[in-house]
């Protein structure tokens, strides 16, 4: 109508509105990116997970032979079938598995790693990590760790009245050009010979290092890495300590490494092999 004031102009959205809109958009993009990465990891590890769950099904059904056949050649070489069966019997999450969840999954070239939880029918839950390697285009299990148990019968190699080897420490440290690994081993049960008023020990250490693919690591296979000649006042019960130092190149494959330490008793003529595992990175 004549004489009436025009309606007030509409106010545009302020900077706070547009700032919040922009933040929400960025957050949405981040979440989408995380979802895509996670989805890709689950897709790439699908076949590896299927192999692990097939083994758990074998074990639940009592088919230890079938489960053992799913291990890689290198894993079977260092773990006998009886040792594998004993390992399984120690863990309800393996023997009586009712469910498995793997929230950490990764694949690199021909190796894979899965970490998560195993649940038993009794309700027991155990943390687990699986290492896998491709053999002939098929995923094979190359390592299992359940609640810190890697499948060895004990942390000590011995018990038969002969030599006994025990790992007393494993240390990793970054060095120029790679990673330094120090393994400390205690040896007992070896023979000594009289030498004046004391007794002489004569021990030799050989080292073999196997990488995540089951192949030997070049430069880390050596005979007589250390030759320990020493004396003791003890005719029986003497103890010797070995410190083994390994240096892995910076481009070494990530995954689980196995070090086989063999101590040869030059006096008694016996030998004992002890295995120590560590992970890179």
Phi, psi of 18 (to 5 degrees): -70, -35
Output the CA–CA distances (angstroms, integers) from residue 84 to 69, 70, 218, in the order listed: 11, 12, 29
Average pLDDT of the chain is 83
Q: How confident is the model at residue 28 (pLDDT cuts 50, 70, 90)?
A: low
Residue 159: the pLDDT is 46
Q: Is the predicted pLDDT of residue 34 greater than 60, yes or no?
A: no
Is it true that the peptide bond before 274 is cis, omega within 30 degrees of 0?
A: no
Rounded to an integer, the average pLDDT of 135-146 is 90
Q: What is the mean pLDDT of residues 138-163?
A: 71
Q: Say if residue 140's pLDDT is above 90.
A: yes
Can you give the pLDDT at residue 87?
Answer: 84
The pLDDT, as a whole number, for residue 135 is 87
Torsion angle of alpha carbons 52, 57, 60, 66, nearest 10°?
A: -80
> How confident is residue 266, by pLDDT bands cut at 50, 70 and 90?
very high
48 pLDDT higher than 90:
yes
The token pair at 217 is 């690591």
Q: Read out DSSP for 191-213?
A: --EEETTEEEEEEEEEEEEE-TT
The radius of gyration computed from the CA coordinates of the chain, to the nearest angstrom, equals 28
Whole-prediction pTM value?
Answer: 0.48
If DSSP codes are grouped into helix, strand and coil, which group holds residue 280? Answer: strand
Domains along the chain with CATH numbers:
44-146 (3.10.450.100), 156-280 (2.60.40.3880)
Burial class of 227 by CB neighbour count within 10 A (0 to 12, 13 to 18, 19+): exposed
In this model, does residue 144 exceed pLDDT 80?
yes
**Segment of 38-52, 61-75, 143-157 carrying the highest mean pLDDT:** 61-75
pLDDT at 156: 45
Q: Does position 139 have pLDDT exceeding 80, yes or no?
A: yes
Question: Which residues does residue 195 pair with via DSSP β-bridges, in sequence order?
Answer: 198
The arithmetic mean of pLDDT across residues 165-191, rounded, is 91
Angstrom distances, CA of residue 67 to CA of 63, 172, 234: 6, 33, 47
38-52, 144-158, 162-176, 214-228: segment of lowest average pLDDT: 144-158
The average pLDDT across 263-275 equals 89
């Amino acid at each position: 109508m004549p004489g009436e004031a025009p309606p007030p102009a509409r106010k545009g959205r302020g900077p706070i509105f547009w700032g919040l809109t922009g933040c929400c958009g960025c957050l949405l993009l981040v979440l989408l990116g995380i979802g895509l990465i996670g989805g890709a990891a689950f897709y790439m590890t699908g076949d590896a997970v299927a192999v692990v769950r097939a083994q758990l099904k074998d074990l639940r059904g009592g088919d230890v032979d079938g489960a053992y056949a799913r291990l890689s050649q290198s894993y079977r070489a260092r773990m006998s079938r009886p040792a594998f069966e004993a390992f399984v019997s120690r863990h309800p999450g393996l023997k009586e598995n009712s469910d498995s969840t793997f929230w950490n999954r990764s694949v690199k070239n021909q190796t894979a790693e899965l970490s998560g939880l195993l649940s038993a029918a009794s309700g027991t839950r155990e943390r687990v990590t699986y290492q896998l390697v491709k053999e002939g285009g098929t995923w094979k299990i190359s390592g299992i760790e359940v609640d810190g148990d890697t499948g060895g019968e004990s942390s000590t190699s011995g018990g038969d009245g002969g030599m006994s080897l025990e790992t007393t420490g494993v240390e990793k440290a970054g060095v120029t050009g790679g990673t330094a690994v120090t393994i400390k081993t205690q040896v007992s049960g070896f023979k000594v010979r009289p030498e004046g008023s004391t007794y002489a020990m004569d021990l030799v250490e050989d080292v073999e290092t196997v990488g995540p693919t089951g192949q030997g690591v070049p430069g880390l296979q050596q005979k007589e890495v250390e030759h320990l000649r020493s004396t003791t006042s003890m005719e029986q019960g003497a103890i010797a300590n070995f410190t083994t130092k390994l240096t892995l190149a910076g481009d070494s494959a990530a995954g689980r490494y196995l070090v086989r330490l063999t101590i040869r008793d030059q006096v008694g003529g016996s030998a004992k092999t002890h295995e120590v595992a560590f992970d890179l990175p």
